[in-house]
């Protein structure tokens, strides 16, 4: 379900710029790394909200342009905020690939990784799903289909239970890692993320208070 940004659009002050645009900072929703900066006029903002793809206003070409329209590395909108003066946008998004036209992960030549390794691993798994790599174990799992992936999670869960009954801590923690890895793959196969799971857990926690 799309979020309602009608009030946000009304409050954005495009009049401060002669080009009727405001800067839009794009941040990766998973890693919090800043990906790029562009400019939006009201039409670009409305198109971004409607299409759920980050769309800028090109001041040099004098037209709207969807980020990724050439490379196919689109930026899928997760959330849109404004600063306190309502003249700058902060958009969190999920990138389909490297963002910069040079081929770099960001326009600031930074690695798009997180201090939270699970988020980084999740991003790598998503990349193997969208851009299969020959010889990649993860890509092969996606190719085999949802039934095989679900079966693999079941197998890893059973192996973890077996090791939990013994006292070999090394084997136990390795099986735990295997289960978590395959669980992340299954989430991606169902187009879900750790954040979706965390959202459910947070809601349950609040409901129990």
What pLDDT, in 10s, does the model give residues 2-52? Answer: 789 999 999 999 999 989 999 999 999 988 999 999 999 999 999 999 999
Instruction: State how far the alpha carbon of 122 is from the alpha carbons of 54, 137, 166, 185, 193, in Å.
Output: 22, 15, 30, 8, 8
Mean of per-residue pLDDT scores for the chain: 94
**CA-CA distances (angstroms) from residue 199 to 45, 127, 192, 195?**
27, 23, 11, 6
Topology of domain 117-208, CATH: Helix Hairpins (1.10.287)
Mean pLDDT of 129-155: 95
pLDDT at 119: 87
Report pLDDT digits (tens) over 118-131.
988 998 999 899 88
What are the boundaries of each domain within the chain? 6-95, 117-208
153-190 confidence digits (pLDDT tens): 999 999 999 999 999 999 999 999 999 999 999 999 99
What gap in Å lies between CA 70 and CA 107, rounded to an integer? 16
Name which of 1, 15, 9, 3 is nearest 82 in CA terms.
Answer: 9
β-sheet bridge partners, residue 184: none
Q: Please give the model's pTM, rounded to 2 decimal places.
A: 0.69
DSSP structural state of residue 14: G
Under the banding of pLDDT at 50, 70 and 90, the label for residue 152 is very high
Domain 6-95: which CATH number of 3.40.50.720, 3.10.20.810, 3.40.640.10, 3.40.50.2300: 3.10.20.810
Which residues neighbour 65 within 8 Å (Cβ) at sequence distance 6 or greater? 55, 56, 57, 58
């Amino acid at each position: 379900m799309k979020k309602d940004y009608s009030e946000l659009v009304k409050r954005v002050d495009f009049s401060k710029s002669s080009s009727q645009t405001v800067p839009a900072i794009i941040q990766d929703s998973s890693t919090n790394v800043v990906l790029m900066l562009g400019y939006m006029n009201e039409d670009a903002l409305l198109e971004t909200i409607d299409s759920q793809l980050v769309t800028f206003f090109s001041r040099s070409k004098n037209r709207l342009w969807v980020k990724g329209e050439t490379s196919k590395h689109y930026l899928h909108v997760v959330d849109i905020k404004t600063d306190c003066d309502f003249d700058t946008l902060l958009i969190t998004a999920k990138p389909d690939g490297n963002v910069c036209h040079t081929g770099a992960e960001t326009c600031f030549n930074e690695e798009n990784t997180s201090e939270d390794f699970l988020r980084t691993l999740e991003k790598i798994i998503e990349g193997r799903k969208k851009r299969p790599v020959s010889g990649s174990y993860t890509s092969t799992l996606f190719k085999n289909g949802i039934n095989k992936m679900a079966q693999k999670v079941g197998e890893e869960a059973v192996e973890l239970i077996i090791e939990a009954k013994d006292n070999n801590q090394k084997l136990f923690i390795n099986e735990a890692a295997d289960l978590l890895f395959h669980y992340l793959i299954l989430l991606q196969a169902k187009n879900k993320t750790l954040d979706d799971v965390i959202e459910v857990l947070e809601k349950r926690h609040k409901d129990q208070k």
